[in-house]
């Protein structure tokens, strides 16, 4: 029977419940419109994997402290701010099956809400002298922005190599999970060596997580994001990069032409999906994902054994076994 989030959360169930209460309090505002929007954001939260990484890594490295709660809140506030801004940039009307902030309250309000969340996170850290935690998370947000911009630039040219692909996903996805683990370790007073180890572990998990996301584009799970969405958005993912590298010059030119000029046509998108599957792109990406998972698990085994460490092992497995 597959593990559920509740099973994985077991060692930190009480902390997660308390975190939810504290986080709700930090989202409150005296401005009625803002308070209404904050309530809406809190109600549509996802599985809360990021706070779980923070609390479990904190538990691995030492007794969970008040700084751990603030670190988890800082991550959630800054990450939510980037998501609200992303939906404006992408002109997206939905987020996790709910209407996005910009869809309900328009772009101007959404941008200001993102700014508000960002300021709440910064003040939470500054007011409590959590400068180490703020440095870790701010670095991740900077990398996330750089990764997004690099991907946008490369989408215009469609010349992404495997090295550039890994750099994009390291910055765009892995940096935040790495920050969660580093914040968890630092919040309980871990030294630089231990914090770096936690960061490296999170980075490898984040890379595996993104490769799993790439695989959803090719229908490797019954549930997930819509088929071919990355192709339509001209995103060069690992299965596609591998398939193009293995193809002849003419075949490569044909596929790139489809992505550049015909990615709105479902029949043409299906051609690209079939090309990737027939070229071994799915198997190649799956092997790469499993390699990063094995490296992450090996790094985790260097920490002392505990129920927290066992749950982190399970959480890593959950991120690649998930169906959406």
Q: Which domain holds residue 29?
A: 5-321
Task: Write phi, then psi, for 151 (nearest 5 degrees).
Answer: -65, -45
Output Rg (C-alpha) for the chain, integer angstroms: 20
Q: Classify each residue of 196-212 as buried b or exposed e, where b means 16 or more C-beta atoms within 10 Å of its C-beta.
A: ebbbbbbbbbbbbbbbb
Convert the pLDDT of each residue in 267-310 to its tens digit.
888 888 999 999 999 999 999 999 999 999 999 999 999 999 99
Domain count, the chain: 1
Convert the pLDDT of each residue in 41-56 to its tens digit.
777 777 788 999 999 9
Instruction: Give me the pLDDT at residue 224, please.
Output: 41
Convert the pLDDT of each residue in 145-165 to its tens digit.
899 888 888 777 777 789 999
Contact yes or no for 317/3 (Cβ under 8 A): yes
Half-sphere exposure of residue 55: CA atoms within 13 angstroms, side-chain side:
26
Convert the pLDDT of each residue in 68-99 to its tens digit.
999 999 998 888 888 877 777 777 776 666 77
Convert the pLDDT of each residue in 183-219 to its tens digit.
999 999 999 999 999 999 999 999 999 999 889 888 7
**CA-CA-CA-CA torsion sign (290, 60, 47, 229):** negative
Half-sphere exposure of residue 275: CA atoms within 13 angstroms, side-chain side:
25
How far is the C-alpha of 258 from the C-alpha of 165, rounded, in Å? 20
How far is the C-alpha of 147 from the C-alpha of 176, rounded, in Å? 12
Q: For residue 220, is pLDDT > 60?
A: no
- CATH number of the CATH domain containing 77: 1.10.600.10
* Helix (H), strand (E), coil (C) string for 53-115: HHHHHHHHHCCCCHHHHHHHHHHHHHHHHHHHHHHHHCCCCEECCEECHHHHHHHHHHHHHHH
Query: Cα 213 vs. chain centroid, distance in angstroms?
Result: 10
């Amino acid at each position: 029977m597959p593990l559920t989030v509740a099973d994985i959360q077991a060692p930190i169930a009480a902390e997660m419940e308390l975190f939810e209460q504290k986080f709700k309090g930090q989202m409150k505002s005296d401005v009625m419109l803002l308070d209404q929007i904050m309530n809406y954001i809190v109600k549509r939260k996802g599985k809360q994997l990021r706070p779980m990484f923070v609390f479990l890594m904190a538990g691995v490295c030492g007794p969970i402290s008040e700084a751990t709660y603030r670190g988890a809140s800082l991550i959630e506030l800054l990450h939510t701010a980037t998501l609200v801004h992303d939906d404006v940039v992408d002109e997206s009307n939905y987020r996790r099956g709910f209407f996005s902030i910009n869809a309900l309250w328009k772009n101007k309000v959404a941008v200001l809400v993102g700014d508000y969340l960002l300021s709440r996170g910064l003040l939470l850290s500054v007011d409590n002298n959590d400068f180490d935690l703020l440095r870790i998370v701010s670095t991740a947000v900077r990398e996330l922005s750089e990764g997004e911009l690099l991907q946008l630039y490369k989408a215009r040219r469609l010349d992404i190599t495997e090295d550039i692909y890994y750099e994009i996903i390291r910055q765009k996805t892995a940096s935040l999970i790495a920050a969660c683990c580093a914040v968890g370790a630092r919040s309980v007073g871990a030294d630089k060596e231990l914090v770096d180890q936690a960061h490296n572990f999170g980075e490898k998990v984040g890379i595996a997580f993104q490769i799993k996301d790439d695989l959803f584009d090719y229908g490797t799970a019954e549930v997930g994001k819509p088929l071919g969405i990355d192709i339509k958005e001209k995103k060069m993912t690992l299965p596609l990069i591998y398939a193009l590298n293995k193809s002849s010059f003419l075949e490569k030119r044909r596929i790139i032409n489809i992505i550049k000029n015909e990615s709105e046509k479902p029949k043409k998108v299906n051609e690209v999906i079939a090309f990737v599957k027939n070229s071994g792109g799915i198997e190649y990406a799956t092997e790469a994902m499993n390699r990063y998972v094995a490296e992450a698990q090996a790094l985790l085994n260097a920490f002392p054994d505990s129920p927290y460490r066992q749950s982190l092992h399970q959480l890593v497995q959950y991120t690649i076994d998930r169906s959406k």
